[in-house]
């Protein structure tokens, strides 16, 4: 192949044309192999940003990206399932949902990422367990998934490398916010990860990438369509992220809250989300046909000890101190405490999730750039939730800090995100919609 035909492909998309699978392989495959320069792909990305892509075209792009590198072969495992969240604040769902699914007899062999900016990462949270190892050779990864039902490792650089290369270009060419490019980016890694059933938790609101419900719904529909065209069982649940999920934000604090939820004593919103997602997995995987029965089975794992036992076995198998699952008070939590209180009486009308995420970042609990160190012990506790009545001086937030690092900035952020009202506010439901 020569680069002579690449301008024709750019011109086709600039004119609003639809690419074939072969054309996308020529362009994206050529870029991944170093045969097409980044300035030509940058021009093509802008053409996509301006003109969009058709559904089959988006699915073909996703498959080309998924096939650009390593693909996990999970064919030796039964009932393989995966879950993806588009990212939020206090979102420790994977810590709860994956052992629930394993306890339900499904197999989770999953790759997860680290946190960046205000969103947390599952790998960072799991590293709150001393000794836990996010790297496993593939044979052990598969064997553990077969034996325990749960194997979770860090994202491989060899998984859908075209996505990483394209994202780097999108980041510097103002083409990040393109629906087909976002959907193909997420789904290329999910398809390459090999699971047959995938349930997506698409966040919507202040603390999410997608700020409006319409944008979130469009993204969910695009991703479900891609998965179905690729022969996978895919569903999406749209959930609110105007308010942090649960009470805790920060790695060790979120692990403690996840363990409480696996003991049946977690926050109502967090339990509701995990049960909803687990039920959707059972339905999508064909393990249940009755939604009520699916929820009943999912809820049972949080009360009979089966999901908690799976988490303990999983942490231990990957070198972590599994005793902390039974005794989570031993996890590293920063010793400093500070509080944000209500400045007046009334009702909490809103708590900005993005402010909470940024406060955790200011305290040292996240990273601005890849590779930055993370303090697993710091974080923010949301003591009160929207809709609750408060009197002046009631605690709304509790901060866990290390020697005052970033405390003043965190307090400013949190105070700026509190909205009080004299009348009871309308509180949005957690589950906003479903896409099948």
Per-residue DSSP letter, 380: E
Placement of tokens 């045969």 in the chain = 35
Q: How many helices (H) and strands (E) does the chain have?
A: 18, 13
Specify whether 125 is catalytic. Answer: no
- Asked whether 273 and 200 are in contact (CB, 8 A), the reply is no
- Token pair for 145: 């998934």
Greatest C-alpha distance within the chain? 71
Under DSSP, is residue 185 helix (H, G, I), strand (E, B) or coil? helix
Cα–Cα dist 378/403, whole Å = 10
User: Residues 170, 247, 358, 384: which is the catalytic one?
Assistant: 170
Handedness of CA 124, 110, 239, 247 (dihedral sign): negative
Residue 306: CB atoms within 10 Å: 16
User: Residues 189, 190, 297, 358: which is the catalytic one?
Assistant: 189
Chain centroid, CA 100 distance in Å: 17
User: Residues 19, 83, 84, 297: which is the catalytic one?
Assistant: 84
Cα–Cα dist 251/210, whole Å = 23
CA-closest candidate to residue 301, choices 261, 247, 256: 261
Q: Per DSSP, what are the bridge partners of residue 128? A: none
Specify whether 204 is catalytic. Answer: no
Chain centroid, CA 275 distance in Å: 16
Type and span of the H or E element at 312: helix 306-317
User: Residues 82, 163, 240, 242: which is the catalytic one?
Assistant: 163
Specify whether 158 is catalytic. Answer: no
Specify whether 84 is catalytic. Answer: yes
CA-closest candidate to residue 170, choices 192, 157, 185, 190: 185
What lies within 8 Å, CB to CB, of 353 at 6+ separation is 88, 89, 90, 205, 206, 207, 208, 241, 242, 243, 244
Handedness of CA 170, 175, 178, 180 (dihedral sign): negative
CA-closest candidate to residue 201, choices 164, 238, 230: 238
User: Residues 185, 193, 216, 355: which is the catalytic one?
Assistant: 185
CA-closest candidate to residue 207, choices 353, 104, 22, 68: 353
Specify whether 170 is catalytic. Answer: yes
Cα–Cα dist 421/386, whole Å = 10
As annotated, the active-site residues are 84, 163, 170, 185, 189
């Amino acid at each position: 192949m020569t680069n002579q035909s690449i301008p024709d492909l750019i011109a086709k998309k600039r004119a609003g044309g639809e690419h074939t699978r072969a054309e996308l392989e020529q362009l994206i495959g050529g870029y991944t192999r170093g045969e097409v320069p980044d300035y030509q792909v940058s021009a093509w990305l802008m053409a996509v940003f301006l003109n969009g892509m058709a559904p089959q075209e988006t699915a073909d792009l996703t498959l080309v990206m998924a096939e650009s590198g390593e693909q996990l072969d999970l064919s030796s495992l039964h009932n393989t399932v995966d879950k993806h969240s588009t990212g939020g604040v206090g979102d420790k769902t994977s810590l709860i949902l994956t052992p629930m699914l394993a306890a339900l007899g499904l197999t989770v062999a999953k790759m997860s990422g680290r946190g960046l900016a205000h969103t947390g990462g599952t790998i960072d949270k799991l590293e709150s367990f001393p000794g836990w190892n996010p790297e496993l050779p593939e044979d052990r990864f598969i064997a553990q998934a077969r034996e325990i039902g749960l194997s979770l490792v860090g994202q491989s650089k060899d998984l859908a490398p075209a996505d990483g290369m394209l994202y780097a270009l999108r980041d510097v060419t103002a083409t990040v916010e393109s629906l087909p490019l976002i959907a193909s980016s997420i789904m290329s890694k999910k398809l390459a990860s090999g699971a047959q059933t995938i349930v997506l938790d698409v966040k919507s609101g202040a603390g999410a990438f997608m700020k409006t419900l319409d944008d979130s719904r469009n993204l969910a529909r695009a991703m479900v369509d891609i998965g179905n065209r690729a022969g996978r069982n895919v569903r999406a649940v749209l959930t609110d992220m105007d308010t942090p999920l649960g009470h805790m934000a920060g790695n060790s604090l979120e692990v403690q809250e996840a363990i409480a939820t696996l003991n049946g004593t977690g926050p109502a919103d967090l339990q509701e989300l995990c049960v909803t997602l687990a039920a959707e997995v059972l339905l999508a995987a064909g393990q249940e046909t009755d939604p009520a029965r699916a929820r009943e089975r999912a809820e049972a794992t949080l009360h009979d000890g089966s999901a908690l036992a799976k988490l303990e076995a999983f942490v231990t198998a990957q070198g972590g101190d599994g005793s902390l699952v039974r005794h989570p008070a031993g996890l590293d939590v920063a010793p400093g405490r500070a509080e944000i209180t209500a400045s007046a009486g009334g009702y909490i009308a809103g708590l900005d999730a993005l402010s909470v995420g940024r406060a955790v970042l200011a305290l040292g609990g996240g990273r601005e750039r890849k590779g930055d160190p993370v303090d697993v012990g710091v974080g923010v506790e949301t003591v009160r939730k929207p809709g609750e009545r408060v009197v002046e001086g009631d605690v709304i937030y509790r901060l866990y800090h290390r020697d005052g690092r970033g405390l003043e900035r965190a307090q400013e952020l949190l105070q700026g995100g509190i909205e009080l009202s004299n009348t009871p506010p309308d509180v949005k439901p957690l589950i906003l919609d479903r896409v099948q």
